[in-house]
Amino acid sequence: MFSKILIANRGEIACRIIQTAHRMGIRCVAVYSEADANARHVAMADEAFHIGPAPSSESYLRADKIIEIAKQSGAQAIHPGYGFLSENTGFAEACEANDLVFIGPPSSAIAAMGSKSAAKAIMEKAGVPLVPGYHGDDQSPDTLRKEAEKCGFPLLLKAVAGGGGKGMRVVERMEDFDDALAAAKRESKNAFGNPDMLIERYLTQPRHVEIQVFCDQDGNGVYLAERDCSVQRRHQKVLEEAPAPGLSEETRKAMGEAAVKAAQAINYVGAGTVEFLYDVDGSFFFMEMNTRLQVEHPVTEMVTGQDLVEWQLKVAWGEPLPLEQSQVKTRGHALEARIYAEDPDQDFLPATGNLRYLSTPDESAHVRVDTGVTEGDDISIHYDPMIAKLIVWDETRDQAINRMVQALEHYRIAGVKTNIRFLHALADAQPFREADLTTGFIEDHRELLFPKSRLDTHKALVLAAGFVLEQRKSREVVSTDPWSPFGRQNSWRMNSEYAQPLQLQVGEEIHDLKILERDDRYQVFVGDSVYNLTARLDDDYMQAVINGHRISIHGNLHNDQLVLFYEGDTFNCTVYKESYGFEEMAGEGSLAAPMNGAIVAVQAKVGDQVTAGQTLVIMEAMKMEHAIKAPADGVVTEIFFLEGDQVSEGAELIAIEVEDTEANQEEAG
Ligand code: MV4
């Protein structure tokens, strides 16, 4: 077996590969870009080499540098992971030319699947079912028109050079064909430098079912069950599972055998995936072959009990396949959810930021977390926004779904927007439980996937108040002067009892709360309602009782940003400075940027008299505007930024000299 390999990748897949390699006693060399100097994959590796600046084109795609490092470090093989150089024929060849084993198929097999029409021709010859249509070289409009008539409508024009959903166009009737063809050719010429098209009958309700195949260097091949990856968004997989619900044993076997034939037709070696369109009537058709280990491979591992990276290493070393077909067994059901840094409420706009709080579900035989990040890491614009893969297993699909729902509730992230709540709604949606799967699942069930919060606003505000007060108490510095009015920072006089105001901003809305505290019990006034609250905070875990209803939640308060986690949902609010205490407000006031963003407007100038709550600056971050308000009455003494400037979280924006007025005294002390 190899004694040392290089991993030409980053993130979760680099970590995943290192984990198995280490278990097998293999040393691992990592490579990293400037942005990844402290990344988890670098920390896990035995040694690591810096390969360039953050952009992948200057780092993880630098085949030349990577090969040089492999040779210099004494690595015998390179594992490319997925993405980056994994399906690059030039890289596979360069490895070979430098006496390095490429842990993947021969470059000829990668090349054979590069063209859709060539791939279809190979598959047709091998007897793998194809969607009826045309994949010939004659691209004259007349021929294509005749083929379209033969195929029938609706049909799909696919770019020969396309892939992953790019360069496709549905044509509903012959009258539209000429225009659609011209447009599709133009697009494909621009996008891929090749205008050639193939024609297929358009399946309107297909599922994406793919077979995991493996071949060794002696030409033996097996399939390791299938995965259903129908739940996608813009050709990005979101939820994957194994086995595919409702697939008959005969179909599974036929599909598996077709996939092995497909792989053997191109002299495949290693891990590969043959994707099929699976139609409502149970028929299936070859779609594409992916010549790499895939993101969703863990669901196959969970149901087969096999380690696919171990298989890859063994096959690359020249060993035969660990199992024969008859020995491949599956048990139970596995699901994988991809946790992305993105904002589902803003059309899944990729999100960036710092993972200031990260708590993952406990791992067990039922729950697995594949990730490349740790708390405190930045999610940058440079790479794929996937934060982690959450994988669960149980005896039945229904139980596995329950596991997934629960595990998502235990996956807590603050600092970066994620799709966790969306995944929670998806996994818990009735049509998903009923395995009503098609590639249109997300579009067809939008109304279920963006649910209203499970917490009513008042309860959330009361919990937020409890969290803020309890955390403040736990961090309170006891004043050395027993007579100081600040000996208890959180005490204010109101109606002759000790009370304090607390301002919480949720979205655009500011909520003014008043809190009375007596013997470790609080009375929280929100609007016209009063809530009795007791709360106990243990680090990030709060047990609260609100009017007799016990609620246990986790939370994170960082500067003035509070996030509460509740049943897979988050409640976010800004805690206003003035409630921090008079001491902090006295003399020089300050206003800090609550997040990275741009200054959109400055609504005050030096010397202005401003009043508490008045908007002074408007910031924009992630396409949302945020008002920065005066914490107290005072005079603006300095403005540190201009409109249009970019500022980072915590940067002081404006200085205010707070007046020692009646109003401020009333507010604060
Ligand atoms: C299709 C199809 C319907 N009919 N081909 C999309 C990605 C590319 N690999 C092939 N794709 C499709 N090909 C025929 N003849 C529907 C899709 C398709 C799809 C396939 C799998 C998963 C998600 C999808 C989403 C939209 C369309």
SS3 of 9-40: the string is CCHHHHHHHHHHHHHCCCEEEEEEEHHHCCCH
Q: How far apart are CA 267 and CA 258, in angstroms?
A: 14
Find the angle CA(105)-CA(393)-CA(541) to the nearest 5 degrees: 120
Q: How far apart are CA 305 and CA 372, in angstroms?
A: 23
- Report residue 37: phi and psi, to 5°: -55, -35
Residue with CA nearest ligand 1 atom 26:
439
User: Which architecture does CATH list for 458-575?
Assistant: 2-Layer Sandwich (3.30)
- Report residue 545: phi and psi, to 5°: -125, 120
- What ranges do the domains of the chain cover? 4-103, 132-201, 206-331, 332-450, 458-575, 592-658
Ligand 1 neighbour 209 (Cβ under 6 A): no
Cβ 312 vs Cβ 271: under 8 Å: yes
Q: Which atom of ligand 1 is nearest to the CA of 201?
A: 15
Axis crossing angle, helix 297-304 with helix 308-317, rounded to the nearest 10: 100
Among 520, 555, 521, CA closest to 541: 555
Task: Look at residue 585 and tell me whether its pLDDT is greater than 70.
Answer: no
Specify burial of residue 552 (Cβ count, 10 A radius: 0-12, 13-18, 19+): exposed
Q: How confident is the model at residue 586 (pLDDT cuts 50, 70, 90)?
A: very low
Residue 487: what pLDDT?
42
Residue with CA nearest ligand 1 atom 24:
439
Residue 30: what pLDDT?
98
Residue 622: what pLDDT?
65
Q: How far apart are CA 454 and CA 234, in angstroms?
A: 28
d(CA 436, ligand 1 centre) in Å: 17
Among 226, 214, 324, CA closest to 268: 214
Specify burial of residue 95 (Cβ count, 10 A radius: 0-12, 13-18, 19+): buried
Name the token pair of 580.
């921090």
Among 436, 448, 571, 424, CA closest to 511: 571
Is CATH 1.10.10.10 the right assignment for the domain spanning 206-331?
no
pLDDT digits (tens, 9 = 90+) for 523-581: 999 989 999 999 999 999 999 999 999 999 999 999 899 999 999 999 999 998 543 33
d(CA 244, ligand 1 centre) in Å: 17
Q: How confident is the model at residue 662 (pLDDT cuts 50, 70, 90)?
A: low
User: Which architecture does CATH list for 592-658?
Assistant: Beta Barrel (2.40)
d(CA 246, ligand 1 centre) in Å: 20
Pocket residue to mutate for ligand 1, from 168, 229, 237, most atoms within 8 A of Cβ:
168
Cβ 360 vs Cβ 369: under 8 Å: yes
According to DSSP, the β-strands at 652-658 and 588-592 are antiparallel
Ligand 1 neighbour 288 (Cβ under 6 A): yes
pLDDT digits (tens, 9 = 90+) for 398-410: 999 999 999 999 9
Ligand 1 neighbour 555 (Cβ under 6 A): no
CATH number of the domain at 332-450, out of 3.90.1170.50, 3.40.50.1100, 3.30.470.20, 3.50.50.60? 3.30.470.20
Specify burial of residue 262 (Cβ count, 10 A radius: 0-12, 13-18, 19+): buried
The H or E element containing residue 501 is: strand 497-506
3-state helix, strand, coil in the chain (%, to 5): 30, 35, 35
Residue with CA nearest ligand 1 atom 11:
165
Ligand 1 neighbour 235 (Cβ under 6 A): yes
What residues does 228 pair with on adjacent strands? Answer: 209, 241
Residue 480: what pLDDT?
52
What residues does 539 pair with on adjacent strands? Answer: none
> Hey, which residues are catalytic here?
292
Cβ 210 vs Cβ 141: under 8 Å: no
**Local structure of 48: helix, strand or coil:** strand
d(CA 303, ligand 1 centre) in Å: 26
Name the token pair of 29.
């060399």
User: How does DSSP classify residue 98?
Assistant: T
Cβ 167 vs Cβ 397: under 8 Å: no
pLDDT digits (tens, 9 = 90+) for 334-371: 999 999 999 999 999 999 999 999 999 999 999 999 99
On the CB side of 328, CA atoms within 13 Å amount to 24
Ligand 1 neighbour 344 (Cβ under 6 A): no
According to DSSP, the β-strands at 155-163 and 497-506 are unpaired
Q: How far apart are CA 26 and CA 20, in angstroms?
A: 9
**Fold of domain 4-103:** Rossmann fold (3.40.50)
Q: Is the peptide bond before 243 cis (omega within 30 degrees of 0)?
A: yes
Residue 167: what pLDDT?
80
More confident residue, 88 or 516: 88
Q: How far apart are CA 604 and CA 479, in angstroms?
A: 36
**Local structure of 410: helix, strand or coil:** coil
CATH code linked to domain 132-201: 3.30.1490.20
Cβ 21 vs Cβ 28: under 8 Å: yes
Residue 342: what pLDDT?
97
Ligand 1 neighbour 208 (Cβ under 6 A): yes
Ligand 1 neighbour 135 (Cβ under 6 A): no
Task: Look at residue 488 and tell me whether its pLDDT is greater than 70.
Answer: no
Residue 500: what pLDDT?
79
Ligand 1 neighbour 131 (Cβ under 6 A): yes
Residue 580: what pLDDT?
38
According to DSSP, the β-strands at 597-602 and 646-647 are antiparallel
Residue 489: what pLDDT?
42
Q: Is the peptide bond before 154 cis (omega within 30 degrees of 0)?
A: yes
Name the token pair of 246.
């409702």
Fold identical between 206-331 and 332-450?
yes
d(CA 625, ligand 1 centre) in Å: 38
Q: How far apart are CA 19 and CA 22, in angstroms?
A: 5
Ligand 1 neighbour 566 (Cβ under 6 A): no
Ligand 1 neighbour 413 (Cβ under 6 A): no
Q: How confident is the model at residue 484 (pLDDT cuts 50, 70, 90)?
A: very low
Pocket residue to mutate for ligand 1, from 115, 229, 287, 288, most atoms within 8 A of Cβ:
287
According to DSSP, the β-strands at 4-7 and 27-33 are parallel
Name the token pair of 436.
């009503």
Task: Look at residue 192 and tell me whether its pLDDT is greater than 80.
Answer: yes
User: How does DSSP classify residue 608?
Assistant: -
Is the pTM here over 0.95, yes or no? no
Task: Look at residue 95 and tell me whether its pLDDT is greater than 90.
Answer: yes
pLDDT digits (tens, 9 = 90+) for 2-49: 999 999 999 999 999 999 999 999 999 999 999 999 999 999 999 999
Q: How confident is the model at residue 660 (pLDDT cuts 50, 70, 90)?
A: low
Rama region for 25: left / alpha / beta (φ>0; ψ in -120 to 50; rest): left
d(CA 165, ligand 1 centre) in Å: 7
d(CA 142, ligand 1 centre) in Å: 26
CA 114 to chain centre: 27
